[in-house]
Amino acid sequence: MNQPTVLRRLGSGVIALLLLAVLAPTVVFAADGEIGDLGDTDSITDLSVSGGRITARIDYTKDCPGGLTGCEIQVNFRYKCPEAWCLGWTSQGWRTIPLPVSGVSTVKGNCNGGQDTENYWEMDYRVRWWAAVQKKVTWKGENELVIGASGSGTYKLIAEGAFNVTNQTGISGYTSIETTTATADFSPAVIAATSKGRVYTTC
């Protein structure tokens, strides 16, 4: 075999290897137990108004620990009118946040309609997991900066990950919040975002 033929074949082999490297599917490391964003202490935005509706943006990796059927973040928007006689909060009910776009989920509240459009707002936050059989799972979290109704900031321990003790999967670091043996569980609900003491006008 002459030298040009050998070189051509070698060149073809190198090109083929390069194409395989480029076209091979990217390996995605999931099931690490980080459901929110444990590396960011400001991963839940303050509430804002978008399209007339109360809105929050939440970092959402959704990497459930191995051995669980699923996991999700849920929020509950609550509002209260600014007048002195308004003492209680009205809840819009728990909802699962949408799947993330570029790692961030945008979740919106309902329109109140009528005259009930100027209010203070708060958002409760919790995480849920479920499994086909009973599992022992520990919620993991970190302190997130939350601007309260008074406008001052405070740090709150918020669940953003989980460790599956039964299967020894998930995230084992960070702060342990609560351990439960069950087929499903919710993390403790926490007020994770507010309108920072301001009245927002919504639909």
pLDDT tens digits, 2-37: 544 443 444 444 444 333 333 333 334 357 899 999
pLDDT tens digits, 41-70: 778 988 999 999 999 999 999 999 999 999
pTM (2 decimals)? 0.83
Query: What's CA 153's distance to the chain center, in Å?
Result: 21
Nearest to 79 by CA among 179, 165, 200, 178: 200
User: What is the rounded distance in angstroms from the CA atom of residue 203 to the CA atom of residue 122?
Assistant: 16
pLDDT tens digits, 137-180: 999 999 988 887 777 888 899 999 999 999 999 999 999 999 99
User: 70 pairs with which residues across the strands?
Assistant: 130
